[in-house]
Amino acid sequence: MKKMLLACFLIMMFIGISFLVMRSVVIERGETEMEILNLPAPRLRGDVSVEETILKRRSVRSFSKTELTKKEISQLVWAGQGITESSTGHRAFPSAGATYPLELYVMNKDGLYHYEPRGHKLKLVRPGDLRSSLNRAALGQAFIAQAPVDIVITAVYERTERRYGERATR
């Protein structure tokens, strides 16, 4: 039980630090300075079943040096927060009351990008390779700095709090 509580604490601390880093980065740069990368449309039919994907899923801590393609990044961010129903704005990932408090950031050698589900695009938040800073925020986990792409998930709690009040943080 103590190990689980410690693990939860460390994960929450990492998310909190990441959120503060991302929030300060967003504040530092003006909206007009942001570069926009339009992403290719995601594939809606795969070659592997959901069951086979779950069966083969493993956590890894070593990565190829090969950069991900725009198409691969597009697929990953769409699977995480992409819009699946344009008329309602519903996304690929469930959310209590459709408040969608989670935000995705993509970090690679070129910079930090914020994923914009509407329009399926990435906005450059800060240029330059910031993976070593993320590595330090994640308590020195070297694989974070070595991965060709890091996807950082942050939360804007206010979106859920507006609807659910104090129950939002449970």
pLDDT at 43 over 90: yes
pLDDT tens-place string over residues 124-145:
999 999 999 999 999 999 899 9
**pLDDT > 50? residue 18:** no
pTM over 0.85? The answer is no
Reported in sequence order, the residue ranges of the chain that DSSP labels E, i.e. its strands, are: 36-38, 83-85, 90-91, 102-108, 111-116, 121-127, 150-155
Residue 145 structural domain: 2-169
pLDDT digits (tens, 9 = 90+) for 62-94: 888 899 999 999 999 999 999 999 999 999 989
Domain CATH for 112: 3.40.109.10
Count the domains in the chain: 1
